[in-house]
Amino acid sequence: MVRAFRTLTLLLTVAAAAACSTKNTTAPPLSGPSELSLSITMAATPDMITQDGASQSQVIVVARDPSGKALTNLPVRLEITVGGQIVDYGTLSSKNVVTGGDGRASAVYTAPKAPVVSVDTGTIVTVLATPLGSNYANSGSHSVEIRLVPPGVIIPPSDLVAGFTFTPEGPGELETVIFTATPCSGTSTVNCTSGSVASYSWKFGDGGTATSQTVSHQFQPGTFAVTLTINDAAGRAASTTRTLTVKIGATPSASFVTSPGAPIPGQVVFFNAAASTAVGNRTLVDYQWSFGDGTTGRGVTSSHAFAAAGTYTVVLVVTDDAGRIGTASQSVSVGTTGPSAPVAKFTFSPTAPTANIDDVNFNGADSTSSSPIDDYVWDFGDGVTGTHGVVARHRYTAVGTFVVRLTISDSAGRIATTTQTVTVK
């Protein structure tokens, strides 16, 4: 019985040995590191550094196999991420490292330059470590975090929000538009400004600028991008832009009246353009007259005496402060009926005066008019003018021929002129 049992045990042992034979077993293919066959740990020393462009942290990667032994010659890729995005925010001394005999690899992380304004927004830099091999898709990343702290005095995050309103919303050409950076209320947060504003800067899109909270500007026709930029005491800024469309403005209206209604030659005609108007808040800045006989005038009122009978087209052109113009015209008929026009006449003696010796006597009593003559004005032709009166006396100081002019005006506002030549020995 004992012998039979021993024989059975031997047979079973041989069978088991045959089943474990490697004669027909194929070796597994070579592959890269597997997450199931290695352990990755990371550390950063220190894990909080100043964001000053110089502070550093040492990033250490340790790789071990399942039994806890160090894995040597394991290539590892290092990358920087902020907010889940891979970005070069600061620098690594090397992005590709290899573990040594102790299973360790390291690189030095250097903080980026300091921000313009020291605002602590809780920036955290994450360094990813990914083992490299032939099966990258199965290689997961490991990470370590480094906290960045701004240097110097740290101020709160910016609360600036730029916004503005303007009126009117559909302005016309050169119409004054009021812009206001209005603070946000509890019910309105659209097109308004919030935060600790220290300064305002406006750009109107046509080259114009301003720097107050409430400003005004005038535009030519067109579409303009108006931008408001606000700054706080730390120099931080926020901006917003709105589009403004300016319509073409209307032209002014020209109008005038004349008096008298039926003038005769030589009679003064008065013109008044006070009835002319500008459009909107524009004002008229210029009035120009063309009297139809080659002469012109200027001003809201003007006057003119037509020398000959006939029909004349008088044109008025008004201009507003936006440069727009309006035109009006009327016909003025100058006839020969009615009171006779004034006629200027004069005599003088001696008729051949001697320079520096003789006084020449001038007399305008022969002048006539159907209305009383109010004034006689003399021009002696040698630069002496402005003498008034029906008679005048003048002594010439030089030899020569001089043209003497007499101008008379009557109570009806009519004028007449005549000239004579005086030869001085």
In the prediction, which pLDDT does 331 show? Answer: 93
Domain check: are 81 and 177 in the same one? no
Q: Total structural domains in the chain?
A: 4
pLDDT of 156: 67
Residue 195 lies in a domain: yes
- Answer yes or no: do 242 and 261 share one domain: no
Residue 218 included in any domain: yes
Same domain, 329 and 354: no
What pLDDT was estimated at residue 31? 42
Tell me: do 238 and 289 sit in the same domain: no
How far apart CA 9 and CA 159 sit, in angstroms, is 87
**Would 23 be classed as within a structural domain?**
no
Token readout for 224 is 């303009």
pLDDT at 23: 37
User: Is the residue at 31 inside a domain?
Assistant: no
The pLDDT assigned to 153 comes to: 66
Same-domain pairing of 121 and 44: yes
First-residue to last-residue Cα distance in the chain? 187
Q: Are residues 359 and 308 in the same domain?
A: no
DSSP character at residue 195: S
Asked, for residue 16, whether it belongs to a domain, the answer is no
Let me know whether 275 and 319 are in one domain. yes
Of 305, 334, 363, the domain-final residue: 334
pLDDT of residue 20: 34
pLDDT at 14 (0 to 100):
30
Distance CA 156, CA 396 (A): 93
Please report whether residue 291 resides in a domain. Answer: yes
**Domain containing 319: what range?**
257-334
Residue-level pLDDT, tens digit, the chain, 425 residues = 333 333 323 232 333 333 333 333 333 443 444 445 678 899 999 999 999 999 999 999 999 988 889 999 999 999 999 988 999 999 999 999 999 999 999 999 999 998 876 666 778 999 999 998 755 444 577 899 999 988 876 666 677 899 999 999 989 888 899 999 988 876 767 888 888 899 999 999 999 999 999 999 999 899 999 999 999 887 888 999 999 999 888 889 999 999 988 888 888 999 999 999 998 778 999 999 999 999 999 999 999 999 998 999 999 999 998 888 999 999 999 986 666 778 999 999 999 999 999 999 999 999 998 889 999 999 999 999 888 999 999 999 999 999 999 999 988 888 899 999 999 99
Strands 142-149 and 48-50, bridge-based pairing: parallel
Closest by CA position to 73, among listed 135, 132, 158, 154: 132
271 and 357, same domain (yes or no):
no
Judged by phi (left if over 0) then psi (alpha if -120 to 50, else beta), residue 191 lies in: left
End of a domain among 97, 118, 149?
149
Residue 58: Cβ within 10 Å count: 13
Candidates 288, 296, 297, 292; CA nearest to 316 is 288
CA dist 383 → 74, 157, 364, 416 (Å): 114, 83, 20, 21
Residue 151 tokens read as: 């240097």
Q: What is the pLDDT of residue 402?
A: 95
Point out which residues pair with 146 in neighbouring strands: 125
Give domain status of residue 8, yes or no: no
Query: Do 228 and 284 have their domain in common?
Result: no
Q: Do residue 400 and residue 351 come from a single domain? A: yes
Domain final residue, candidates 225, 246, 267: 246
Which CATH number belongs to the domain containing residue 355 in this structure?
A: 2.60.40.10
Say if residues 326 and 254 touch (Cβ distance below 8 Å): yes
Q: Do you find a cis peptide bond into 353, omega within 30 degrees of 0?
A: no
What sign does the dihedral 381-387-391-393 (CA atoms) show?
negative
Residues 138, 205, single domain; the answer is: no
**CB contact set of 242 (below 8 Å; sequence gap of 6+):** 164, 166, 191, 225, 226
Residue partners of 403: CB distance under 8 A and separation at least 6: 381, 419, 420, 421, 422
Q: Determine the length of the chain.
A: 425
- Same domain for 50 and 142, yes or no, is yes
Q: How far apart are CA 109 and CA 308, in angstroms?
A: 101
Residue 339 lies in a domain: no
- Residue in 241, 201, 205, 209 with CA at minimum distance from that of residue 220: 205
Q: What φ, ψ does residue 71 adopt, rounded to 5°?
A: -95, 125
pLDDT at 380: 95
